[in-house]
Amino acid sequence: MQYRTLGRTGVQVSTLALGAMNFGAIGRTGQEEATAIVDAALEAGINVIDTADMYGAGESEQLVGKAIAGRRDDLVLATKATMPMGEERNHRGSSRRWLVTELDNSLDRLGVDHVDLYQIHRWDPATSDEETLSALTDLQRAGKIRYFGSSTFPAYRIVQAQWAAREHHLTRYVTEQPSYSILQRGIESHVLPVTEEYGMGVLAWSPLASGWLSGAIRAGREISTSRSAILPERFDLGIGANQARMAAVEQLAEVAEEAGLTLIQLALGFVTAHPGVTSAIIGPRTLDHLHSQVAAAEIVLSADVLDAIDAIVAPGTDLAPGEKFDTPPALLDPALRRR
């Protein structure tokens, strides 16, 4: 396993991080297998576990908490808040009122007295940066969180939050968690230059592009993954973006084979090759998934392989731009740009 410094925090983290979104109802991974996955991940040298309150409505945090019992100090524990937790209108967002309450809920589910990294899951346009950063700074000073970061923020919001922290003398976000893979490279043109400028750690999620780069999705085969059942439109080959992805996957599989790598190793090696990326978050549902992904921990792609990838998917290109999560709200809701 390789290790890097998380931004400018001085904390050493593994280049592969264990994502726990599939623990519980989402991935149908129960406590026994979740604990086995955590055991194997720690044995392999992974020292970061990332979860969120909304994964299984808190179930993931509960499973993680039981799996790490007795060894909490051996790992960097990260969770997130902001996404809706039920129907109550104020049980979501980035207000002080909700973050203070929900962090306590997360700590209770995890069975710990603090988390190492608390992340704002999505930018909340209804809440000012000052409000959110002030609450997070106070929670940090109270010892409930060590650091805090953002997740899937547009580049301009990352810049704005850094400015707000300086302007109001508050602690700043030290990490960003964006979606990044060979098939979704848009952050190379805007987010990664900004995070590098501010010395932020980057924990990249979906490095296997929701399973497209797992090796299980190939031309001529029936697409059957846990993601295809939840989000069928992402795998419908009648859609142009998915046709483009399939064509790219076939070419990438050839590159991987010629390099003596699995497609998973190629995909994870690509993400961790970027100098602005600290860790790639893997999200195994089973022990077999974990072992196939941990096999990429020591992979260093050659310049020839990276050039071949660039020839298939150009730098800064998203093959499925409609799936981006950092699009400004005014581009999604006509009312916000026409009123």
Residues marked active site are found at: 55
Tokens matching residue 261: 């790598």
Distance CA 59, CA 63 (A): 6
Residue 253, C-beta contacts closer than 8 angstroms, at least 6 positions apart: 215, 218, 263
Helix (H, G, I), strand (E, B) or coil at 245: helix
203 DSSP β-pair partners: 279
275: amino acid identity, one letter: P
Helix (H, G, I), strand (E, B) or coil at 220: coil
- Find the radius of gyration of the CA atoms of the chain: 19
Helix (H, G, I), strand (E, B) or coil at 5: strand
* Percent helix, strand and coil across the chain, each to the nearest 5: 45, 15, 40
Cβ neighbours, 10 Å, residue 163? 12
Residue 20, C-beta contacts closer than 8 angstroms, at least 6 positions apart: 34, 49, 50, 51, 55, 60, 61, 63, 64, 283
Tokens matching residue 146: 């060590």
Residue 309 sits at φ, ψ, to 5 deg, of -65, -45
Which is nearest to 235 in space by CA: 210, 201, 271?
Answer: 210
